[in-house]
Structure 1
């Protein structure tokens, strides 16, 4: 097994250096995916890419977080890695938990290690409460409670089962990516290990979540998944009968 951190970056020039430093300190190589950042951030990434253990992949124009993650996972597999740790570029995720994620990966190399946020007072209340609508839809679309939180972008993916799933979700190119890929991996029978992790929203953090456009995309994604769930329902119900609702 081998793991690389994949970080989608779009104009996070002020925070990305600290995230990279922390990951390298844990002995984890880093793949930066520049999703069409402006010149200032692009220059920061060029500088970081000169460091040992850092690789840079660049989109010519902004394609969205989901597209950047997908490009990063494919490149990670091409480079020979078996797993990819996805983490945000803005510093909201606790890099101190990297050893815990890696330990879970070692114990369950077949599973997605999915971060479950433990928020402090910095979390915007609208974002916090809005997540519950997605949680409920995910529980419906998997006919289970196997996925505790489907929106946290702090995860380790086993790449062998993940890459075929990406082919089946070409529309999920932005903030709809994180919940859709986790649901589709669950449908494919990939186990999910839910790992609590602290999440904070830095006061000077850069968020690209568009409350209108991204919520519309997420609503469309839930609709796609609901009709997909109907096709998978017999198998999902069998898992439920066998006691896999939470497993």
Structure 2
């Protein structure tokens, strides 16, 4: 296992972290990089006890910066020190990743050196906490919608990463748990192959030692989708408000066409608002072509909405046009998210 370094981001670790490090060394790994992510003075003795171990490098954050930043700190260290490793294996500090599974990851990396290897847990087991099972299902769905890739476990912290990909991963946004999800999306966008290896599903004390904050960290993980939904809702409200305003202004001026004029004017202004928010706040990127792509997509979605509802109503059901409209537009809303992320606002 000389060719792989093990990275352990650690925040307020307990005794299991020390035991884990001993087991990793006993398994034959000869370089471990532990990142103290601002654990505080009360944990200084633990990290100081690791410093004399020649196979262990301890990196420190003065304050807690998040798991994503801790991983980037380790990546920086490896690249700056020019450590000659073929790849790294990232491991959680809470003892829920077994050394036997790390060896599986290492063997798979040796077999498929161009792949990023993920340790995939089995979430069908009865002892999996509800928040872990639900969170994985939801992130799997989002990942599939946004990238087209099907993964068993998008939240796994046990990952084998070839060293040549580390410079690219340093540019991936995210400082906390969302970084791991963003990392997978970035790898997919670069067409870097992903492989999964089944690992043991271990939850000690019902995952009590996890530092995942359900509200704060879920927001960061799902932030882009939540912002997309808020942007769509705000644009809808603006569209309705402008429609009402223009109706009041033009009802007497254009009694034959005021509804058409109000609809078109409101939709143009609300779509400009939606484009601006999505480009600058939701996806945070784009190019000169994004504006044209956005309106091509908008026109396509409008035609698909009208055509699909008409077909389902006129040719199939003959009733429930409102429910059909809600169903069709929900599907198109998800479709729009995928297309905007992968095509409209993609980096050139």
For the aligned pair, the TM-score class normalised by the smaller chain equals: 0.7 to 0.9
What is the count of residue pairs matched by the alignment? 230
- Return the match for 1:90 from 89, 94, 117: 94
- Return the match for 2:216 from 193, 213, 217: 213
CA distance in 1, matches of 2:146, 2:66: 24
- Dislocated runs of 4+, deviation >3 Å: 119-122, 221-228
CA distance in 1, matches of 2:342, 2:49: 45
Residue pair 1:66, 1:176 contacting (<8 A) in 2 also = yes
Q: CA deviation at 1:231?
A: 4.8
1:134-145 map, 5 Å: 134-145=139-150
Say if 1:78 and 1:2 are closer, same or farther in 2 by CA, change over 3 A: farther
Residue 240 of structure 1 aligns with which residue?
A: none
Residue 228 of structure 1 aligns with which residue?
A: 341
| Structure with larger Rg | 2
Residue pair 2:121, 2:152 contacting (<8 A) in 1 also = no
Deviations 1:150-192 (A, max 9, x none): 11000011132232233142xx111111111011111111111
Say if 1:56 and 1:229 are closer, same or farther in 2 by CA, change over 3 A: same
CA distance in 2, matches of 1:43, 1:121: 38
CA distance in 1, matches of 2:122, 2:80: 34
Residue pair 2:102, 2:158 contacting (<8 A) in 1 also = no
Residue pair 1:13, 1:40 contacting (<8 A) in 2 also = no
Deviations 1:101-155 (A, max 9, x none): 111111111110111113554421122122111100101111232x332110000
Is 1:117 the counterpart of 2:121? The answer is yes
CA distance in 1, matches of 2:172, 2:11: 25
Is 1:8 the counterpart of 2:9? The answer is yes
The normalised TM-score by structure 1 is 0.86
Say if 1:228 and 1:165 are closer, same or farther in 2 by CA, change over 3 A: farther
Say if 1:231 and 1:162 are closer, same or farther in 2 by CA, change over 3 A: farther
CA distance in 2, matches of 1:34, 1:157: 21
Is 1:133 the counterpart of 2:138? The answer is yes
CA distance in 1, matches of 2:49, 2:223: 39
Higher helix share: 2
Residue 242 of structure 1 aligns with which residue?
A: none
Deviations 1:181-208 (A, max 9, x none): 0111111111111111012121184211
Residue 65 of structure 1 aligns with which residue?
A: 67
> Which structure 1 segments of 5+ residues have no match?
234-247
Three-state SS of the structure 2 residue aligned to 1:118 is coil
CA distance in 2, matches of 1:73, 1:221: 25
Is 1:105 the counterpart of 2:109? The answer is yes
CA distance in 2, matches of 1:59, 1:221: 27
Higher relative contact order (CA 8 A, sep 6+): 1
> Which structure 2 segments of 5+ residues have no match?
229-282, 284-336
Query: CA RMSD of the aligned region, Å?
Result: 2.1
